[in-house]
Amino acid sequence: MNIRRLLDSIVTRLLALALLIVLTGSLTRYYALSAFLREDLGKVVEAQQLALANYVAHDIDEKVAQREMLLNRLARDVPRPLLEDPARLEQWLRGHYDYQPLFSIGMLVLGLDGMAIADYPIAPGRRQISFADRDYFHAALSGRSYIGKATIGRATKVPVLPMSVPIRGADGRVQGVLVGITALGAPGFLELMQHSRIGNHQDSFLLISPRDRQFVAASEPDMILKPLPPPGANPLHDKAMTGWRGTGITINAKGVEEVCGVASVPSAGWFVVARIPSKEAFATVDRVKQFTLRNTLLALGVFTLITCCGMYIVLRPLFVTARHADRMTRGELPLEPLPIHRNDEVGHLISAFNRLLHKLDRHQVELARLAHHDPLTGLPNRALLTDRLQVAQAQAKRKGNALALLFMDLDGFKTINDKHGHKAGDKVLWLVAQRLSAIVRQTDTLARIGGDEFVLLLSDLDDNAEDIARTVAAKCLEAFAEPFPVGGADCALGISIGIAIGSGLSTPDQLLQAADQAMYRVKKTGRSGSETIRV
């Protein structure tokens, strides 16, 4: 018992609270802040990588498209007779090359056998080399321009990118192939990708050809023209090979985690990868972790101060409870349960107060229900009917609609009451309420206003209000077609219905009086039925 009281003591809780504040604060800052910074900084770095990839890809795309456009224009302009005159064809190439030297290695014209007819600038031995096995040569022979596979030039022995277009005769047939060759390391071609840097790392960009499954260019020189890693080595690379473009974090083929951005080079069918190692991208997160650990030591130094403040925090619910209860007793706040935060003396006091408040509230709810509902049938009573009738009348006045009031009195109920007793009569009244409730809409109000008298309020009616009221009255009469089981026997009951049709100009009392008068007229006939009066 003493141990339990010690555990529930305010002093014990105070010491535990002080320790918990220090430990929780430190751990929360260390883990939550680190995770938040990594996620938030990751979005920034990914956006940066994608912007860089798009910038480089756009630059490469423009340069490739510019060379392809130039080559197509020259193929259209080359004089066809010069294909038979290599010397003059070489002069023609020189004139156009000097004017716009986009192809750093030069241009050459190949014959249909794949041998060079003329080239400029002249590369020693190039005219003795056959290019018949090159992919760009076969593509041009088939009649289409083509960006060849990046490879090591046969004449220059450096990494090059060849392009080709067909030279057609007047009959549309291919008479030769115009080829332009650019060194991958040529100034003004891929230098934006090869010499740009992100942070302290040089290997930041990759230019990849999915068609040829090779690295066309890279910031890391030993990766140029190397084949791509096998599928599965880099999940993000595998997605990019299928056409995906965007940003993400992945593990490369060397096992290094990277933040990557992928963008397309449409003219060549390539894509650019801008990448940065996660270790460098999230270096700020590591520094924040170290900062948090240092702050933990400082937090321990203010432990005594937190303990003093904790005393106030522990006792604060008692002060709040007393003030809250005082304001409720003065009517400044609604009666509502107080929150229970602990299982100590304050908690027991608040719990007892809440139980007392709950009982009081339950009694008030029951009294409110009894004040507005009939205890036997559960239907609204006269007071609630009056309130709803006033609301319906105001609504009808505002909208210009009509409303109807059906005043119903049971025929033959007194006989049942006298013959079988009040309990049987009460059961019949309950059954009547059930049958009538099954007829009315949810927006209508069925009330018992005393004895065997019921009133049905139909609101928000249109110009056919009288027809609707008569239809509802007919359904009410039908509900009494079946006898009521009373004391082991079936007893027949009738109902007399007086209908009053009113508008927003009629008062609630006028409607009730008119419906009551109409009901008595039906009553005098000695049979169940209904009669309608307009107010």
Instruction: Indicate the pairing of strand 151-152 with strand 159-168.
Output: antiparallel
The reported pLDDT for the residue numbered 221 is 84
Q: What angle do CA 27, 32, 37 make, to 5 degrees?
A: 130
Q: What is the mean pLDDT of each run of 10 residues along the chain (535 residues)?
A: 64 70 74 80 87 92 93 92 91 86 90 92 85 92 93 88 93 93 88 62 79 91 90 91 92 88 94 90 79 75 72 69 74 72 71 73 63 83 87 85 90 84 87 89 87 89 86 90 84 89 82 89 78 69
Amino acid (one-letter) located at 460? D
Chain mean position to CA 37: 23
Give the Cβ contact number of residue 368 at 10 Å: 10
Provide the angle, in degrees to the nearest 10, between the axes of the packed helices 10-28 and 283-301.
160
User: Are residues 458 and 493 in contact, defined by beta-carbon separation less than 8 angstroms?
Assistant: no
Give the Cβ contact number of residue 245 at 10 Å: 16
Beta-bridged to residue 496, according to DSSP, are 409, 529
Provide the angle, in degrees to the nearest 10, between the axes of the packed helices 10-28 and 303-329.
120
The reported pLDDT for the residue numbered 202 is 46
Amino acid (one-letter) located at 213? R
Please state, in angstroms and rounded to a whole number, the distance separating the CA atoms of residues 265 and 273.
11
Three-class secondary structure of residue 235 per DSSP: helix
Please state, in angstroms and rounded to a whole number, the distance separating the CA atoms of residues 344 and 350.
10
Q: Report which of 280, 269, 140, 283 is spatially closest to residue 201, judged by C-alpha positions.
A: 280
Catalytic residues: 452
The reported pLDDT for the residue numbered 194 is 63
Is the pTM higher than 0.85? The answer reads no
User: Are residues 236 and 260 in contact, defined by beta-carbon separation less than 8 angstroms?
Assistant: yes
Beta-bridged to residue 201, according to DSSP, are 198
User: Are residues 275 and 56 in contact, defined by beta-carbon separation less than 8 angstroms?
Assistant: no
HSE-up of residue 338 (Cα within 13 Å, Cβ side): 28
Q: Report which of 471, 91, 464, 211 is spatially closest to residue 456, judged by C-alpha positions.
A: 471
Stated as kind and residue range, the H or E segment containing 461 is strand 453-461
Q: Report which of 227, 202, 233, 203 is spatially closest to residue 215, judged by C-alpha positions.
A: 227
Please state, in angstroms and rounded to a whole number, the distance separating the CA atoms of residues 44 and 39.
9
